[in-house]
């Protein structure tokens, strides 16, 4: 079962499954999607057109798991994530173009 994740102040990542026909055979495609957090929607007139499909509940980001993977304390992991999302928010608010690269997602 694919589980989405919610990152406070940034948004949520999830996988949406869609069925499409290839020839005469139905194929299920999995597509990673990102939904912007509501606090960012008003910045530079950004908006989400769709909510999470089917009202699916997303799992909050587990800072402790991130900390273990990055070999840092939980507090440092949380501070880095919140600092990054805060920087992103301020850049978007000022109209600065930002490249936000996520590795190993999807």
Q: What is the pLDDT of residues 46-75, one digit of tens each?
A: 655 545 555 666 677 888 988 998 899 999
Q: Domain for residue 16, yes or no? A: yes
Predicted model pTM: 0.57
Domain that holds residue 23: 5-47+55-94
| Burial state string for 23-40 with b = 16 or more CB within 10 A and e = fewer than 16 | eeeeeeeeeeeebebeeb
pLDDT in tens, the chain (106 residues): 567 788 777 778 787 788 888 888 888 887 777 777 777 766 656 655 545 555 666 677 888 988 998 899 999 988 888 888 888 778 877 878 777 776 665 4
11, burial (CB in 10 Å: exposed 0-12, middle 13-18, buried 19+):
buried
- Residue 99 pairs in a beta bridge with none
Q: Domain for residue 104, yes or no? A: no
Q: How many domains does the chain have?
A: 1
Q: Domain for residue 60, yes or no? A: yes
d(CA 91, CA 105): 23
């Amino acid at each position: 079962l694919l589980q989405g994740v919610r990152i406070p102040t940034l948004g949520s990542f999830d996988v949406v499954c869609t069925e499409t026909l290839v020839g005469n055979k139905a194929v299920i495609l999995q597509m990673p999607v990102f939904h912007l957090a509501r606090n960012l929607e008003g910045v530079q007139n950004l908006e989400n057109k769709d909510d999470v499909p089917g009202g699916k509940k997303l799992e909050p980001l587990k800072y402790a798991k991130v900390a273990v993977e990055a070999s840092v304390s939980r507090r440092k992991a949380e501070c880095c994530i919140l600092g990054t999302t805060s920087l992103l928010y301020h850049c978007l608010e000022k109209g600065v173009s930002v490249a936000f690269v996520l590795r190993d997602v999807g």
